[in-house]
Amino acid sequence: MSESIFTKIINREIPATIEYEDEFTIAFHDIHPQAPIHILVVPKKEIQTLNQATEEDTKLLGHCLLIAKNIAKTRQIDESGYRIVINCNADAGQTVFHLHFHILGGHSLQLAMG
Ligand code: AMP
């Protein structure tokens, strides 16, 4: 299977505005932001959807959530509030089949479902 568009970002084959990176994850600005702050946290391991995550990925998934929390704090939306979204498959509108966590914030999201 060919590499995902997010793997191309990880490998610097296509550009992105990178917010954070470590051995296991990368976080970058969404190209079509749905909120003033819209950042994607992506595990470097290519997991197509949440459905393909296994016990082996427990620590990785937890790590992604903690990275999301840290980014929210760095971007100063931790107190005002933010939403973390994982879209899984067609009905959720998943368009990139490489697991990712959306961080959405910077304004009120109460009327929007992300
Ligand atoms: P999802 O609908 O959950 O699969 O979300 C995929 C997200 O990736 C969408 O919000 C897109 O705007 C975003 N996206 C797609 N291509 C890129 C890219 N090259 N750089 C940054 N974000 C992207």
pLDDT digits 0-9 by tens, 63-76: 999 999 999 999 99
Residue 114 belongs to a domain: no
For the question of residue 102 being annotated catalytic, the response is no
Q: Looking at the 3D structure of the chain, how many domains does it have? A: 1
Residue 112 has pLDDT above 70, yes or no: no
Residue 33 belongs to a domain: yes
Residue 110 belongs to a domain: no
Residue 3 has pLDDT above 90, yes or no: yes
How remote is the CA of residue 26 from the centroid of ligand 1, in Å? 13
Residue 98 belongs to a domain: yes
> pLDDT tens digits, residue range 4-24?
999 999 999 999 999 999 999
Residue 111 belongs to a domain: no
Q: What percent of the chain has pLDDT over 90?
A: 94
Residue 29 belongs to a domain: yes
Residue 52 belongs to a domain: yes
> pLDDT tens digits, residue range 47-65?
999 999 999 999 999 999 9
How remote is the CA of residue 20 from the centroid of ligand 1, in Å? 16
Sheet holding 82-85, edge to edge: 18-21, 25-29, 37-43, 101-105, 82-85
Residue 42 belongs to a domain: yes
Which CATH number do you get for residue 54?
3.30.428.10
Q: Is 1 exposed, middle or buried (0-12, 13-18, 19+ CB in 10 A)?
A: exposed
Residue 37 has pLDDT above 70, yes or no: yes
pLDDT-derived band at 114, boundaries 50, 70, 90 = low
95 CB near ligand 1 (under 6 Å): yes
How remote is the CA of residue 80 from the centroid of ligand 1, in Å? 24
HSE of 83, CA atoms in CB hemisphere, 13 A: 16
Torsion of CA 26, 84, 3, 25, to 10 degrees: 20
Q: Domain range for residue 72?
A: 5-105
At 2 the pLDDT is 86
16/78 Cα distance (integer angstroms): 24
pTM for the whole thing? 0.96
Ligand 1, atom 1, lies closest to the CA of 94
